[in-house]
């Protein structure tokens, strides 16, 4: 809140006049030297004493935020520059920390506070007259009609073999890595995500899925993280070794003379990234400045993906601070007198190394030193074990050697069939915005039976088999329906979601056909392979409910 105008009266001639505080001078009021009635009367007044009228102050909403350049458009090693913004009246509270915005305003200078033994200085400040959030616009990427027709034609060509078409899309994810079909499928389903909804009690159920890769060094975890960041329209990459709880969530900082000097603005309109935001109209002052909230990685990745490598390098306290951000998708802050809630509608994609030699007989918590509550928030936890497999080693070595020789590399037909990065980005954004799949009765029956079977298992992992696992199954099934270009979740999608969960639950898997995710390869006949896996799963689920014989694999793409 700030004073926009104030009425004064001349004690000599009783003339009333308005005085406007100057924002550039820290909202100070400068009274005229003589009565401003000169020229309005036949005999000018020479009064120099003025009195403020009671209840004459008119206040306006006021907010100061700090913005920085978008880090995604900067070069490697470049430090983003920042500048404060003044918002007034209806522009207040239009943006929060982590938002992308286009700000139009007038660039001016503002005097720093008058402090004892501190040199007075001028700081650049932008007085905004228009603010437009671009977060929503980023999800609605302009996709030409001819590209949409290509998507429809693609699925029309694979009408009889839809899983073969799905695998053709998945081969475009990290094409430099051979195989790892299960990981590529999990990455695709995580990026696409499910449908967010509000349950009967009014609680918002998230649609974003979270993925954790647990594997030995050299299994390609970091490459998947970087590729997933490229596929997302908004991403933040960090490492556990250099991340603290404040760096991941939010921290309270004192605003000092930390503004970068440089030509940040070349015109009056600039696209900027909201970096730190004081959400209070009355800031908390002290002798060095005022308190402001600085957004961390999860807040900056709101609406996108946050990739955290070396997850095991984080301290236990730092890992526990992201629990609320992953499940409720908010961060509650109460620091330095600032109490607010920030949005973290982001996908968390983590990678970690096991603690020593991975022991399949132990639970994930023991092998990774990650707590059960944190593991339960990940929809998929894939374990990549670099076990001795001579056949797999021979195939991988042949693939890597062939990649280095152009005459022995993949054929032109194979290269043409791989979707480029730009096409994958457009496809993911299109299916996320266009399809809102609904579960069929058959899909609900399969998912419910599998959840009940896991709960009855005597060897089940209590940290994994919670209601969150049921919600994860629904999200993954919806994501697979989107991937298959459908608005309906069928038995095929439910079985695929179960296979993803099976791959991440090695201690309580109901089928043994999933195997090591590191050695999973693309099947030559994926539709036939799926039929075998579906038969195995339904045979196990018949102990919970009755399922008809597998006479068709209905629910494929139309």
Neighbours of 412 (CB within 10 A): 8
The matching CATH number, chosen from 2.20.28, 3.30.930, 1.10.3470, 2.40.10, for 2-60 is 2.20.28
Positive or negative: CA dihedral 504, 510, 516, 521: negative
Neighbours of 66 (CB within 10 A): 22
Q: What is the pLDDT of residues 227-271, one digit of tens each?
A: 988 888 888 888 877 677 777 777 777 665 433 333 333 333 444
Give the architecture (CATH level 2) of 155-242+348-541.
3-Layer(aba) Sandwich (3.40)
The more confident residue out of 144 and 386 is: 144
Q: What is the pLDDT of residues 276-316, one digit of tens each?
A: 333 333 333 333 456 777 777 888 788 888 888 888 777 77
Q: What is the reported pLDDT for 479?
A: 92
Long-range contacts of the stretch 256-261 (C-beta < 8 A, 24+):
256/288, 256/289, 257/112, 257/121, 257/123, 258/82, 259/82, 259/83, 259/84, 259/123, 259/124, 260/79, 260/81, 260/82, 260/83
| Closest among 180, 142, 303, 182 to 233, alpha carbons compared | 303
Here the tokens at position 478 are 């919806």
Q: What is the pLDDT of residues 124-156, one digit of tens each?
A: 888 888 888 876 545 445 678 888 899 989 999
Residue 530 has pLDDT above 80, yes or no: yes
Neighbours of 392 (CB within 10 A): 16
Provide the greatest CA pair distance for the chain: 107
Q: What is the reported pLDDT for 230?
A: 87
Find out whether 379 and 210 touch, Cβ atoms under 8 Å. yes
The full set of domain ranges for the chain reads 2-60, 155-242+348-541
Q: Which residues contact 51 (CB under 8 A, 6 or more apart)?
A: 8, 9, 11
Find out whether 440 and 488 touch, Cβ atoms under 8 Å. yes
Lowest mean pLDDT segment, chosen from 71-75, 124-128, 416-420 = 71-75
Give the model's confidence band at 42: pLDDT under 50 very low, under 70 low, under 90 confident, else very high. low
Q: DSSP for 274-337?
A: EEEE---SS--EETTEEEEEEE-HHHHTTTSEEEEESGGGS-HHHHHTTHHHHHTSEEEEEETT
For residue 47, the SS3 value is coil
Length in residues, the chain: 558
Residue 478 has pLDDT above 90, yes or no: yes
For residue 340, the SS3 value is strand
Find out whether 220 and 263 touch, Cβ atoms under 8 Å. no
Strand partners, 101: 133, 272
Greatest mean pLDDT among 51-65, 172-186, 435-449: 435-449
Residue 535 has pLDDT above 60, yes or no: yes
Here the tokens at position 111 are 């005097």
Neighbours of 73 (CB within 10 A): 10
The Cα 556–Cα 486 span in angstroms is 8
CA distances from residue 556 to 482, 483, 530 in whole angstroms, order as listed: 12, 11, 12
| Closest among 331, 260, 267, 263 to 300, alpha carbons compared | 331
Task: Please give the mean pLDDT across all residues of the chain.
Answer: 76
CA 527: distance to chain centroid?
Answer: 33
Backbone torsions φ then ψ of 81, nearest 5 degrees: -90, 155
The Cα 467–Cα 327 span in angstroms is 12
Q: What is the reported pLDDT for 178?
A: 79
Here the tokens at position 552 are 């068709």
CA 337: distance to chain centroid?
Answer: 27
CA 153: distance to chain centroid?
Answer: 31
CA 469: distance to chain centroid?
Answer: 21
The Cα 403–Cα 201 span in angstroms is 55
Three-state secondary structure along 104-148?
EEEEEEEECCCCCCCCCCEEEEEEEEEEEECHHHHHCCCCCHHHH
Q: What is the reported pLDDT for 403?
A: 64
Q: What is the pLDDT of residues 112-121, one digit of tens each?
A: 666 677 777 7
Find out whether 136 and 128 touch, Cβ atoms under 8 Å. no
Q: What is the reported pLDDT for 493?
A: 92
């Amino acid at each position: 809140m700030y004073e926009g105008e104030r009425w004064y009266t001349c004690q000599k001639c009783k003339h009333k006049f308005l005085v406007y505080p100057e924002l550039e001078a820290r909202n100070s009021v400068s009274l005229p030297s003589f009565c401003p009635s000169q020229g309005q009367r036949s005999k000018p007044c020479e009064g120099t004493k003025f009195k403020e009228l009671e209840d004459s102050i008119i206040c306006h909403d006021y907010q100061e935020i700090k913005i920085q350049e978008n880090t995604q458009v900067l070069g490697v090693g470049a430090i983003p520059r920042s500048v404060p913004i003044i918002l007034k009246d209806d522009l207040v509270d239009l943006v929060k920390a982590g938002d992308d915005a286009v700000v139009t305003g007038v660039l001016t200078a503002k005097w720093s506070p008058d402090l004892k033994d501190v040199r007075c200085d001028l700081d650049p400040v932008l007085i905004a007259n228009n603010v437009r959030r671009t977060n929503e616009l980023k999800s609605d990427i302009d996709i030409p009609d001819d590209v949409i027709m290509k998507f429809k034609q693609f699925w029309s060509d694979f009408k009889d073999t839809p899983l073969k078409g799905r695998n053709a899309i998945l081969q475009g994810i990290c094409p430099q890595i051979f195989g790892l079909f299960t990981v590529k499928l999990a990455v695709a389903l995580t990026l696409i995500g499910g449908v967010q909804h509000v349950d009967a009690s009014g609680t918002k159920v998230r649609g974003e899925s979270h993925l954790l890769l647990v594997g030995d060094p050299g299994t390609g975890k970091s490459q998947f993280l970087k590729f997933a960041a490229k596929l997302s329209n908004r991403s933040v990459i960090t490492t556990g070794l250099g991340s603290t709880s404040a760096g991941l969530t939010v921290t309270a900082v004192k605003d000092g003379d930390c503004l970068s000097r440089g030509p940040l603005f070349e015109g009056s309109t600039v696209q900027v990234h909201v970096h730190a935001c004081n959400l209070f109209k009355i800031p908390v002052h002290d002798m060095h400045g005022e308190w402001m909230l600085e957004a961390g990685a999860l807040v900056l990745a709101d609406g996108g993906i946050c990739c955290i490598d070396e997850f095991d390098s984080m301290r236990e306290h730092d890992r526990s601070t992201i629990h609320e951000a992953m499940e409720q998708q908010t961060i509650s802050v109460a620091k330095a007198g600032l109490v607010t809630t920030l949005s973290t509608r982001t996908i968390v994609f983590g990678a970690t190394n096991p603690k020593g030699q991975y022991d399949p007989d132990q639970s994930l918590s023991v092998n990774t030193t990650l707590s059960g509550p944190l593991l339960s928030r990940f929809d998929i936890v894939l374990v990549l074990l670099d076990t001795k497999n001579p056949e797999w080693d021979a195939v991988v070595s042949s693939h890597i050697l062939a990649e280095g020789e152009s005459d022995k590399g993949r054929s032109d037909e194979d290269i043409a069939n791989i979707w480029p990065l730009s096409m994958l980005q457009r496809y993911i954004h299109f299916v996320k915005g266009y399809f809102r799949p609904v579960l069929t009765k058959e899909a609900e029956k399969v998912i419910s039976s599998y959840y009940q079977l896991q709960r009855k298992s005597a060897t089940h992992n209590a940290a994994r088999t919670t209601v969150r696992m049921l919600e994860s199954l629904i999200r993954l099934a919806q994501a697979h329906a989107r991937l298959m270009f459908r608005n309906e979740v069928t038995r095929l999608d439910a079985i695929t979601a179960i296979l993803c969960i099976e791959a991440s639950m090695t201690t309580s898997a109901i089928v043994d056909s999933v195997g090591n995710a590191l050695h999973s390869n693309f099947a030559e006949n994926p539709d036939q392979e799926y039929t075998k896996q579906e038969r195995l799963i339904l045979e196990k689920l018949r102990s919970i409910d009755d399922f008809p014989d597998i006479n068709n694999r209905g629910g494929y793409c139309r």
